[in-house]
Amino acid sequence: MTAKNADIGLIGLAVMGQNLVLNMADHGYNVAVYNRSTDKMKEFVEYCKNTEPSHERVIGHADLATFVLSIKRPRKIVLLVKAGTATDLTINALLPFLEKGDIIIDGGNALWTDTIRREKELRAKDIEFIGSGVSGGETGARFGPSLMPSGTRQAWVSLEPIWTAIAAKVDPVSGQPLEGGEPGKPVVGGFSCAEYIGPDGSGHYVKMVHNGIEYIDMQLICEAYWLMKHLLGMKSDEIGKVFEEWNKGELSSFLIEITADILQQKDPMSKEFLVDMILDTAGQKGTGQWTAANALELGAPANAIAAAVYARALSSVKEERVAASKILKGPKVTAIPESERKATIEAIKNALYCSKICAYAQGFQLIDKAQVAYNWKLNFGEISQIWRGGCIIRARFLQKITDAYALNSRLKNLMLDPYFTEEMNKGQEGWRKVIALAVTNGIPAQGFAAALAYYDGYRSADLPANLLQGQRDYFGAHTYERKDKPRGEFFHLDWPEPGRPQIAIE
């Protein structure tokens, strides 16, 4: 390879970085690589030589200057380093070697406001900046992730051939992901799960919401499992087989598929089912929290997403819960009779699907709020399509979302699309039955319950917020609008002192 023959460079050779490099190399791109630890870079390059068919396209550099100078202009440099300060330090280290029009691509889980700031700062220096969401974990990075890039159109045109080549592929007719996963033999053809999202931080914002939806999707699946375990007394492998069956229908998804596998996996140490040996304390890296916090900031009703974040937080206080379980009493669980097992499983399936629809409706409602707040113009149909393959929330269901926005690009809420309206109408009887069973038996199902509360609130022409606004006017003179007056006209009542009788109005 000549001195300036790399098509793209990548900094940060942790697992995601290594796999993305190999993905690009498999697609015929020469990739320059650099890592703060030179030893790690050398180990990776040696590993490639010994095991990877495309190893000749991976070129290691121990020096940052030679790394940058080895890349064809306009240079494209992917950062897969820790979000936050580490990203800023890496950018600052690169700047002395970059030239006008070069492009930095941040593929980490960056806070979208940081991406907005970085894009603006680098634009002033004539350097392009792309913030790209990357979803799919290490397997996705290796064989086809879902990619959500944002920045200027000019920068995207330069990156597009590489990003569309390495992304997951979906059959354009069936909407099904095209399977791959063999080193040196990339998937070709189909719709690429990489599409320009919009300006500045919109790509990382959409990835953040993706992760928020991922939180609630996983929580809902866990609640379905927990209800089958405790209401129906089913063993883990029995529940796994139910998820296997569900994966053949409208619930078909990556998360349902792996849930079926997890529930049927035996623990090599104890010979019990592995899931029964895993401690019930869930971790989180922060993107779900960002989603819930931003929903509060923008006033978007994302209560189900927030419930999933709170459920993980509650799981983390394991010792407190163990102590509380000996003090705080609940109802005795009444087992469902064998004759009602099939109907109850179907009701749990309905609860899962209806709650899932609500969760995605909340995610897209939040993105809609954000595009107004940050002056973006986003294509919701394309967003759902690039989530169809590669990413953690990939699911058959997402094709229905793409279809919904194709039918009505101005759709205000997914639940108003004819398909989703019909599904909610069909499934809500079972949904309500399941939540009632959970409540009467003292089984936590906060995700299902939050989703139903959202559904019932959204479909209500009137809500008790009239009293709430009266309270706000009473104690804080915050004013109120009237039902018999035009919107935007505000009123205030000179309320009497608390405890004094109301003045009769004749």
Query: Which residue numbers are catalytic?
Result: 207, 214
Q: d(Cα 119, Cα 66) in Å, to the nearest integer?
A: 25
Beta carbons of 137 and 18 less than 8 angstroms apart: no
- Pairing mode of beta strands 169-170, 191-192: antiparallel
Q: Which residues contact 22 (CB under 8 A, 6 or more apart)?
A: 48, 52, 54, 58, 142, 183
Q: How far is CA 127 from the centre of its chain?
A: 29
Q: Is 18 helix (H, G, I), strand (E, B) or coil?
A: helix
Amino acid found at 424: M
CB neighbourhood size of 496 (10 A): 11
Cα–Cα distance measured from residue 146 to residue 214, given in angstroms and rounded to the nearest whole number: 14
For residue 385, the SS3 value is helix
Closest of 434, 423, 366 to residue 397, by C-alpha: 423
- Side-chain half-sphere of 263: how many Cα atoms within 13 Å? 24
The length of the chain, given as a count of residues: 506
Rg (CA), the chain: 26
Contacts of 382 (CB under 8 A, 6+ apart): 195
- The count of other CB atoms within 10 Å of the CB of residue 379 is 15
d(CA 422, CA 302): 22
363 CB-near residues (< 8 Å, 6+ apart):
209, 210, 212, 213, 291, 302, 305
- Kindly provide the b/e burial profile for residues 203-225, where b requires at least 16 CB atoms within 10 angstroms of the residue's own CB: bbbbbbbbbbbbbbbbbbbbbbb
Residues 308, 106: Cα–Cα separation, whole Å: 27
Around Cβ 354, how many Cβ atoms within 10 Å?
A: 27
DSSP at 232: S
